[in-house]
């Protein structure tokens, strides 16, 4: 496996936190496994800087499980409960109806702390979207990711 390139056949995982990442209105229990699009929402960091990508972990990198263990919820009321798997090719192939050009990239961004780290980056008409930009295309993209990820939840 080339750690500098992510192939379409590879899976990435989004670490899940309960209850924040789940749709509690239609399914109040984690066991139902219905993710909310909020699970993929870009946030404003404590530093005040807006996120510009959705963090995921590469399952084929040998440190994957150790990297999952290193992640903690941002909300004190949340518990880490598992992760959702997404196929990279499916993510890259998501098409959102729009008059704009939405580009979806899944790129490796591993570091010493999190070797398996990767990011899903969205560009609308060439501009990288951040937590302060949430056009309709991004909302639809997050809904699509939540639907795909709800099918492949791994509980810790």
Condensed to tens digits (0 to 9), the pLDDT of residues 24-83 reads 665 545 455 689 999 999 999 889 999 999 999 999 999 999 999 999 998 889 999 999
Q: Does residue 23 form part of some domain?
A: yes
Average pLDDT, rounded, for the chain: 91
pLDDT for 19 equals: 87
| H-only helix segments in 12-135 | 64-70, 88-92
pLDDT for the residue numbered 154: 93
**Phi, psi angle pair for 68, to nearest 5°:** -55, -45
pTM: 0.92
Find the mean pLDDT for residues 87-113: 96
Query: What pLDDT, on a 0 to 100 scale, did the predictor assign at position 87?
Result: 98
Whether residue 130 is contained in a domain is answered as yes
Task: With CA atoms as reference, report the closest residue to 71 among 62, 82, 60, 84.
Answer: 82
125 falls within a domain: yes
Domain assignment present for 17: yes
User: Which range has the worst mean pLDDT, 14-28, 87-101, 120-134?
Assistant: 14-28
Which residues, 6+ apart, have CB-to-CB distance to 144 below 8 Å? 94, 96
Q: Is the pLDDT of residue 153 over 70?
A: yes
Number of domains in the chain: 1
Is 5 within a domain?
Answer: no
- Whether 1 is covered by a domain: the verdict is no
- The pLDDT of residue 27 is 56
Categorize the per-residue pLDDT at 9 as very low, low, confident or very high, splitting at 50, 70 and 90. Answer: very high
Q: What is the pLDDT of residues 121-133, one digit of tens each?
A: 999 999 999 999 8
The one-character DSSP state at 128 is E
Q: What pLDDT sits at residue 133?
A: 85
Is position 2 within any domain?
Answer: no
pLDDT band at 102 (very low <50, low <70, confident <90, very high): very high
Task: Say if 3 falls within a structural domain.
Answer: no
Q: For residue 29, what are the domain limits?
A: 11-155
């Amino acid at each position: 496996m080339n750690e500098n390139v992510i192939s379409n056949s590879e899976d990435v995982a989004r670490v899940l936190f309960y209850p924040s990442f789940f749709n509690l209105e239609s399914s109040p229990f984690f066991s139902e496994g219905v993710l909310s699009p909020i699970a993929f929402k870009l946030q404003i960091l404590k530093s005040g800087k807006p996120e510009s990508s959705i963090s995921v972990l590469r399952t084929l990198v040998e440190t994957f499980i150790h990297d999952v263990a290193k992640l903690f919820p941002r909300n004190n009321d949340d518990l880490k409960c598992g992760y959702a798997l997404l196929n990279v090719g499916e993510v890259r192939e998501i098409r959102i109806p729009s008059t704009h050009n939405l580009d979806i990239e899944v790129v490796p961004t591993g570091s010493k702390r999190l070797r398996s780290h990767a990011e899903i980056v969205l560009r609308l008409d060439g501009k990288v979207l951040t937590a302060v930009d949430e056009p309709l295309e991004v909302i639809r993209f997050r809904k699509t990711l939540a639907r795909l990820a709800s099918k492949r939840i791994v509980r810790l």
